[in-house]
Structure 1
């Protein structure tokens, strides 16, 4: 890849991570004459999570998520319930984005979600939605729980759009793509945490100079993720219809879990050879049958993990290890074989260790009920497999558990668009 392309990518990724006014100016300076298309508020889908038909797809129909993403965690500035004035302010702030940007990965995709702590501000209970407080989901994790009131998720292939939209919401500029800003979220909410990330072929390889990744720079250029393989195969993802709440006042919405995982990949690349990495990510059967080539793009639209869901114990005995995907898939299918969870994860180097950035993964997951995510997460633990053979231990030879560590997790309701502005629990 030409060095000029690397330099441009560096500027864009660094600008989103920094988030400053100067960073936004640097993004705009790169392509001053290529502004995104304006949006049509009336044409926006009723579902905030309706992204799949509005992003790029590969030759197999696999969704390619927007390359630049930002998560804003915010808390209401008042005690108790929000007022109607608060709701009007939030809706006006969000309406700017509706008008300013086309609903696409070339424009802006975004959603606003609410935590259990937000709904506890009200006297009445949340109606028709499974949204408990987060808790540890394994005996070996101790995450910090995100209990801020609101989560805003911004995503675009354009770094300038993500930054400009963020600045519009947080009072940093008075217009967005030519649309005047007359209200900001920070008029009624405070930003508690800002987290950014990236995904897509080339970006992890470019930004692998991070704690947790060997200095040999092993991440392949074609990989969309730090672990060196593609993900999000169309036939192994829940559909947006499937994860949509079907009844009650929040019908048309969904629930969202966002976890942050630190990655320690020195042993992943240093101690495991390619076949062993295939075994621990997919399944030992994938390696034995030679299904995976390179980063796995040859698999097309289906990872074929369902071929090996029933072989977990046999693989543990025969190969002394089991795969991450085959363990999770045991709980990620309903009685009709439908996939239950829609994953939209992306990488990050936001956090800084003692002297440099730290590799981590932001893992948004959509499902009708939070309990679905919890079922899949517990299946991924593979605690039952440790009883099959001493070769498989809780964090060794047990999928990816040796390499990923949960640092944060939050639970949220993503209401339908009509209820996106500080909703009541029983609207």
Structure 2
């Protein structure tokens, strides 16, 4: 383990169109027209880079986020950029910030993903990151010719093999294999080409990848999984782990558990960074900040509140249940098990109505307070080993992002937690993660 003095706070920004709050697009200061406006995203990326964020992260599902038109038509989630296209463009208007995107292992093929993220890593000169997900939205299946969504355990088995194949494809060429020697007429050294020739349960991929090894060796692997299966997958493959934790104690438990699991796979726990989510609402006084959060909660339409619970807790239709009544018994489902368990426990422990549960879920990891209070929260969680950094979401854009960069970041810098300048040229270097050597891939996989 690294020493406390060697640790440095790392930060990512989760960018979700016009904002992360389900009703954020309705806020008077929001820019819902920025959803498909590249200039808007470019300005936002430059703001985050000014705040010395390590990475900008674009979430994604390969469907609209919700299929019930009563609620979908009242959200800003019916349209959003394809992430890799957006990030490739952002690579040209930024210099340092990492560029990470979600890509599902359930409705993609390893060759496609390996090629796209290798290309982004070359375009950005080593700033690409891949958020590995197994898809939790059943609606995605219908967009790929499937009647049913893959079962939870099968999705993770497929994902495990998927990641192995992608890493092998990234290692198709040794680092020094592509020589482009005009004098000898040799473009690459044949001995430096290593086609994977993979045959497994889910994929048969000969290779090699038709692009040289990425500048980072492997783009940084992000992952989010809190179920038992998800934690094991994260401990094997993840380098930056997203998690949703509301209490310090629970966050410390998750942090310690993931680090121990990673060590059990022969990995250095210091090279597995844990990033809880955080949605800061910053104002001059705590009362003002809480008022801003309450304003957002009041903008949630009844249709959206019902679907927000229903779409995240399981496959039970809640349309016949009163919003101001209790949550009914929720059966097991094929969606995210950790998210379902979290919501059921929250509703049970605090005796919440469906409307109240929707509000709590919409607020998510919101923390409303002064810049000093937000900085205190970040510092406490960092020093108390509940986080190595945070995945910062903003309820609407661009104002809250500018508030955080202008008022919270300087406090973190003065406290010696956050860099004042970027130290490295790649995302890996800025995160303090080692660059994997191609030869090590075989040792890593056989150790499983």
TM range (shorter): under 0.3
- TM-score norm. by structure 1 comes to 0.24
Greater helix content: 2
